[in-house]
Amino acid sequence: MKAIVIEKFGIENIEVKDINDKSDGIPVKITMAGLNPVDYSVINGNIMYGVNPMPHIPGSEAIGIAMADGDYIKRGDRVIIYNRIFDGTCEECITGNEHLCVNGGILGVISNGVYRETMNVPERNLFKIPDSIKDELAASMGVGALTAYRALKTMNVEPGKSILVYGAGNTGIFTVQLARMLGLEVYAVSRKNDLQRYGINVFNNVPDDFKADYIVNPLGGSIFEDSLKHIKRNGKIVTFGILTGREAKIDIGNIYANEIKIYGSTGGTRKDLFELIRIASMNDLYFPFENAFSLWDLKDAITEFKNRNTGRILLKVS
């Protein structure tokens, strides 16, 4: 079986090798995988978590075809791979937060990932894909869409209120749409003015006097300081990214005087993914697809990933 392998960090060190997968689980023929910032960071050695093992197979987001029967999954089913490693026994797992497992982590980061022809996957990490969801969208749900949905749930958003989303990239494009479906008045800070046709108000720059009930800031850094200027009293901010840096200047007095709530969110639970699949099967999610490469042309895909305009880069496995 062929797989993408890095023996040391750096795009120039990507190789295609034959491997043997002796792990337990249902064999899944990988058909399409995503290329996300986490994958880019793993390959370049810039991940904030420990990468294990080395040599390493990257890739944290994929769909495929089940090649054997399980208790629930049957041979031939299209499946999404839930990308969290979890033991099922720690306090977080027992309370339904397996994405926060104290002994776990992200597939493709703390374990070998999905950039390969086939992979043995525990059945509890597999979810059927309804026929109404196309491969390109399904291959983007395990990271981008799931992260967005979890962030909205974390803030316990209420219909009729306003939300401001910074950026409309991989996660942002799903955040604005899901927020709209949940009944919120949606504003986005983005260069993508075409979002307006979906009932989303787009700012290139946020007006000084604008304030929202909820803010989603996946960018971190100095952008986080700006977002605090635009939250209403008793408002809620959620963050799940550090694209512009891990540190931000915060006025603590402003936070407690206005009872602003700040949340961290990461990934999502299996329950979140189950709910998200149901939502996607019944709604028309806009999906900005830019290009698809063969997995074996990963170096070329990464070059376009760094220079892409708006859409997602996907990897086909043949």
Q: Is the pLDDT of residue 163 over 90?
A: yes
Distance, in Å, from the CA atom of 48 to the CA atom of 7, rounded to the nearest integer, reads 19
Q: What are the tens digits of pLDDT across the range 49-78?
A: 789 999 999 999 999 999 999 999 999 999
Q: Residue ranges per domain, the chain?
A: 2-140+287-316, 145-264
Q: Are strands 14-18 and 2-6 parallel, antiparallel or unpaired?
A: antiparallel
pLDDT at 193 over 70: no
Count other Cβ atoms within 10 Å, centred on residue 69: 13
**Tokens in use for 27?**
């064999």
Structural fold of domain 2-140+287-316: Quinone Oxidoreductase; Chain A, domain 1 (3.90.180)
- Burial (CB < 10 A; 0-12, 13-18, 19+), residue 306, is exposed
121: tokens are 């996957």
Short-list 219, 222, 262, 263, CA closest to 241: 219
Helix axes 270-282, 146-154, angle to 10 degrees: 110
- How does residue 224 score in pLDDT terms, banded at 50, 70 and 90? confident
Looking at residue 169, what is its pLDDT? 77
Q: To the nearest whole percent, how much of the chain has pLDDT over 90?
A: 74
Predicted confidence band at 302 (pLDDT cuts at 50, 70, 90)? very high
- 213 close to 219: Cβ distance less than 8 angstroms: no
For the domain covering 145-264, report its CATH number.
3.40.50.720
